[in-house]
Amino acid sequence: MILTVTLNTALDITYRVRSLRPHASHRVTEVTERPGGKGVNVARVLTALGHEVTVTGFTGGGTGRAVQDQLAAAPRLVDALVPVGGPTRRTIAVVDEQTGDTTQLNEPGPTVTPGEWSAFQEAYEDLVPSAAAVALCGSLPPGVPVGAYAGLIRTARAAGVPVLLDTSGEPLRRGVAARPDIVKPNADELAELTGSHEPSRATQDARRRGAHAVVASLGPEGLLAVTPEGRWRATPSARVHGNPTGAGDSAVAGLLSGLVERLPWPDRLTRAVALSAATVLAPVAGEFDRAAYEELLGRVSVTGEVSAA
């Protein structure tokens, strides 16, 4: 079982409009709703790859019930979300059909009380020993301590369970210091963490700060990985166009599934890049196009070198 943690779960709502114009009224051509938040998106991709996944985090209110109702119908997925008094947030994605651009509106999430945070920590400690790996993903809702991920990483490490961290800002800085097995920042998050806008230098700096391996997401330019086993750059054969929502989460699923399956790093990166690109091409935000994924697997270029023993 793989455990994904989404402290700020969401009900993702996607609107499609012919053309998005400021200060104008729009007729929506299509509406979709689905459980969301970064760790939930990761879980969805992992189950599509055939893995058993448990989802935990917080849920509350009517939107939380809607999230859980949809999770209950998902194959190979167990709902272990912890209830809170406030309502689960909504995220609104507005897709401009003319340009393909997406405008994202993200609510902050419910305020978590100290008692609710303690209840989550107890549930997490019970789940971790049964996990093959843990993914800690996304923003922190109000009320959760800024060092929350650092504590959750230490719990996983104490249980001997590998952990991947995908967050930003101060939670990322504190989390890296707790020595996660993999950190997956994007270029902006990496620059904020290290102060360097040069990806190769910044990934090495992030490793020195405590991360075992750093995989930097460079958008359409693919992934850059610096690990104890070596350094690699994985790039798609051509730039793809579509909705990038969830592409980074698909990359996390590729890395995490490769870790659990004990794939060598070049194969993990190939899978992550192919999944990310196939997510951009999918008609629904956060899904991935299976046919495109299978085709893209053979078209990812990986260059790099193995570290000397």
Catalytic residue numbers, as ranges: 249
Work out the number of other CB atoms within 10 angstroms of the CB of residue 149. 28
Rounded to whole angstroms, the Cα distance separating 94 from 97 reads 9
How far from the centroid of its chain's Cα atoms is residue 85's Cα?
A: 25
| 5's tokens | 């943690």
Rounded to whole angstroms, the Cα distance separating 225 from 198 reads 14
Residue 9: half-sphere exposure toward Cβ, Cα within 13 Å? 32
Place of tokens 């912890």: 82
| 299's tokens | 């078209």
Beta strands 77-79 and 10-17 are unpaired
Nearest to 153 by CA among 135, 131, 132, 126: 135
Q: What is residue 132's DSSP assignment?
A: S
Asked whether the beta carbons of 182 and 211 are under 8 A apart, the reply is yes
Beta strands 82-83 and 28-36 are unpaired
Triad 193, 88, 48: Cα angle to 5°:
75
DSSP 166-183: E--HHHHHHHHHT--SEE
Helix or strand run (H / E) with residue 301: strand 301-306
Rounded to whole angstroms, the Cα distance separating 278 from 309 reads 35
Place of tokens 């794939």: 263
